[in-house]
């Protein structure tokens, strides 16, 4: 064990790695509740999403452990699941077709991870667009949590308005939000999970949370419930690209962030980056086959690194704990029916994703406006793809007319034209 994971070389041991694995799992276990709750609202059977979430997390995290030897966990990504649900809702598509887009994005991601084209694509997209995309998704997620819980409601005067504080679910959400915020500010490990647990306990005593059992046999997984042909017949190329782009940036950014914290970066480069990216791409592809949205490396992995995790054994522990969770579906299903338990997590994770705003050059208008346009349009149009499209159109255009056209990679011009054509001839509805 020590030799395979190079524990002595990384100045760690099995006990430390085990504690780190448990810590990481506690900070991200909310996904096995939140992900099925979001996708089941789009019509996907809850049990199918639950099993797909666990399967993709186990496979992706084990691949990260065994081939990249990093203490980084993988699971279906927040934001990507909300985008999945919005595509189903706004475009009137079956979830099987949208799973087809996820599958194709996963295959392309695998191919890109095997070539140098991935580095070219990532290097071509300027920081302003990368941070704008991440921040826009953050607002998108937070708005979803506010809407789910009734904190914001439809309002004829201004589209949305403040909800009714006399509603029990809204009050529960606000209570859960403040409990979770306090735990997080106190640097309590697993604050997101413990906040959900505290809200669940309150819900139980108020009579809103009711269990019909605690343990059960795992649901039967559903395999290849998708319609790839529908992707082409509905011209969902922007959706495929959106899944690919966000997953690629999310994973790359997380890998670099966790690697820097753990001291893995060597002269600005990440060793075994190809294996790490392949782990995520594999999880996304396999997850789509069983019924979930794209997977990504989890920034919550930094909690495990902070607890001393330095090798893939931390990830093995996380994968094993995810596998054990399949025997507790009655508890998880009951929790998912209470928006107040999951909404605070969405709101807080949305805040986490805003950190890139500080790195945008707001004094340069041709940098600032495309990022602003992305951040503005994603939550207001309920479409991550639309936000990405507008960013890719406005950035090269503003650079070109300001005499800085040569500073823009040719790939951005190509995608800018593609997105213009997409929005004219194949607009999202």
Report the number of secondary-structure helices (H) and strands (E) in the chain.
20, 4
* CA distances (Å), origin 126, targets 102, 289, 363, 385, 414: 25, 32, 16, 17, 15
Query: What is the rounded end-to-end Cα distance, in angstroms, of the chain?
Result: 53
Confidence of residue 202 (pLDDT cuts 50, 70, 90): very high
Question: Do the Cβ atoms of 174 and 151 come closer than 8 Å?
Answer: yes
Give the C-alpha separation, 131 to 129, whole Å.
Answer: 6
Query: Does position 398 have pLDDT exceeding 90, yes or no?
Result: yes
Q: What is the mean pLDDT of the chain?
A: 88
Confidence of residue 183 (pLDDT cuts 50, 70, 90): very high
Give the C-alpha separation, 326 to 72, whole Å.
Answer: 21
Query: Does position 119 have pLDDT exceeding 80, yes or no?
Result: no
Poorest-pLDDT segment among 39-53, 190-204, 279-293, 330-344:
330-344
Confidence of residue 131 (pLDDT cuts 50, 70, 90): confident
Question: Do the Cβ atoms of 19 and 307 come closer than 8 Å?
Answer: yes
Query: Does position 427 have pLDDT exceeding 70, yes or no?
Result: no
Beta bridge partner(s), residue 295: 76
Query: Does position 429 have pLDDT exceeding 60, yes or no?
Result: no
Give the residue-averaged pLDDT of 360-381: 94
Query: Does position 214 have pLDDT exceeding 90, yes or no?
Result: no
Give the C-alpha separation, 367 to 387, whole Å.
Answer: 15
Residue 210 sits at the vertex; the CA angle it makes with 42 and 206, to the nearest 5 degrees, is 110
Whose tokens are 């914001």? That residue is 152
Give the residue-averaged pLDDT of 249-277: 79
Mapped onto helix, strand or coil, the DSSP state of residue 200 is helix
The alpha-carbon radius of gyration of the chain (Å, integer) is 21
Q: Which of 250, 352, 234, 247 is nearest to 292 (CA)?
A: 247
Please state at what angle helix 329-336 crosses helix 31-40, rounded to 10 degrees.
Answer: 60
Query: Does position 358 have pLDDT exceeding 70, yes or no?
Result: yes
Give the C-alpha separation, 323 to 373, whole Å.
Answer: 41
Give the residue-averaged pLDDT of 13-41: 88
Give the C-alpha separation, 191 to 181, whole Å.
Answer: 8
Give the residue-averaged pLDDT of 276-280: 91
Confidence of residue 27 (pLDDT cuts 50, 70, 90): confident
pTM: 0.75
Q: Reduced to 3 DSSP states, what percent helix, strand and coil does the chain have, rounded to the nearest 5? A: 70, 5, 25
| Residue that wins the pLDDT comparison between 398 and 2 | 398
**266 φ, ψ to 5°?**
-120, 110
Query: Does position 50 have pLDDT exceeding 90, yes or no?
Result: yes
- The most confident of the ranges 1-5, 40-44, 57-61, 88-92 is 57-61
Query: Does position 189 have pLDDT exceeding 80, yes or no?
Result: no
| Residue that wins the pLDDT comparison between 38 and 423 | 38
At residue 76, the pLDDT reads: 95
Beta bridge partner(s), residue 266: 269
**pLDDT above 90: percentage of residues in the chain:** 42
- The most confident of the ranges 181-185, 234-238, 384-388, 422-426 is 181-185
Query: Does position 428 have pLDDT exceeding 70, yes or no?
Result: no
Question: Do the Cβ atoms of 176 and 182 come closer than 8 Å?
Answer: no
Mapped onto helix, strand or coil, the DSSP state of residue 152 is strand
Question: Do the Cβ atoms of 301 and 57 come closer than 8 Å?
Answer: no
Give the C-alpha separation, 419 to 391, whole Å.
Answer: 10
Confidence of residue 227 (pLDDT cuts 50, 70, 90): very high
SS (H, E, C) 267-326: CCECCCHHHHHHHHHHHHHHHHHHCCCCEEECCCHHHHHHCCCCCHHHHHHHHHHHHHHH
At residue 118, the pLDDT reads: 65
| Residue that wins the pLDDT comparison between 269 and 162 | 162
Query: Does position 318 have pLDDT exceeding 80, yes or no?
Result: yes
Confidence of residue 256 (pLDDT cuts 50, 70, 90): confident
């Amino acid at each position: 064990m020590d030799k395979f994971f190079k524990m002595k070389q990384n100045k760690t041991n099995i006990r430390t790695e085990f504690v780190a694995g448990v810590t990481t799992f506690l900070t991200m276990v909310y996904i096995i509740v939140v992900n099925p709750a979001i996708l089941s609202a789009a019509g996907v059977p809850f049990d199918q999403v639950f099993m797909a979430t666990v399967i993709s997390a186990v496979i992706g995290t084990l691949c990260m452990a065994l081939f990249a030897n990093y203490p980084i966990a993988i699971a279906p990504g927040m934001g990507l699941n909300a985008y999945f649900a919005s595509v189903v809702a706004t475009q009137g598509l079956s979830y099987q077709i949208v799973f087809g887009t996820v599958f194709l994005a996963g295959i392309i991601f695998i191919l890109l991870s095997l070539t140098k084209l991935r580095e070219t694509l990532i290097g071509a997209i300027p920081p302003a667009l990368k941070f704008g995309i991440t921040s826009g998704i953050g607002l998108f997620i937070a708005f979803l949590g506010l809407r789910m819980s009734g904190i914001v409601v439809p309002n004829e005067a201004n589209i949305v308005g403040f909800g009714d504080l006399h509603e029990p679910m809204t009050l529960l959400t606000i209570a859960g939000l403040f409990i979770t915020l306090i735990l997080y500010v106190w640097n309590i490990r697993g604050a997101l999970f413990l906040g959900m647990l505290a809200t669940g306990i309150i819900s139980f005593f108020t009579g809103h949370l009711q269990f019909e059992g605690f343990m059960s046999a795992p649901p039967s997984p559903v395999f290849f419930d998708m319609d790839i042909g529908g992707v082409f017949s509905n011209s969902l190329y922007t959706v495929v690209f959106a899944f690919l782009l966000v997953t690629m940036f999310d994973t790359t950014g997380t890998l670099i962030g966790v690697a820097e914290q753990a001291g893995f970066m060597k002269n600005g480069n990440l060793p075994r980056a190809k294996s790490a990216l392949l782990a995520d791409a594999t999880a996304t592809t396999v997850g789509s086959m069983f019924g979930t949205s794209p997977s990504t490396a989890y920034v919550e992995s930094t909690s495990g690194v902070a607890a001393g995790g330095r090798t893939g054994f931390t990830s093995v522990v996380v994968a094993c704990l995810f596998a054990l969770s399949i025997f507790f579906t009655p508890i998880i299903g009951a929790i998912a029916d209470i928006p107040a338990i999951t909404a605070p997590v969405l709101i807080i994770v949305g805040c986490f994703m805003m950190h890139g705003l500080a790195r945008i050059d707001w004094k340069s208008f041709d940098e600032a406006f495309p990022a602003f346009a992305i951040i503005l349009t994603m939550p207001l149009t309920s479409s991550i793809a639309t936000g990405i499209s507008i960013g890719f159109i406005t950035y090269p255009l503003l650079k070109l007319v300001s005499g800085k056209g040569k500073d823009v990679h040719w790939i951005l011009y190509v995608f800018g034209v593609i997105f213009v054509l997409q929005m004219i001839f194949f607009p999202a509805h």
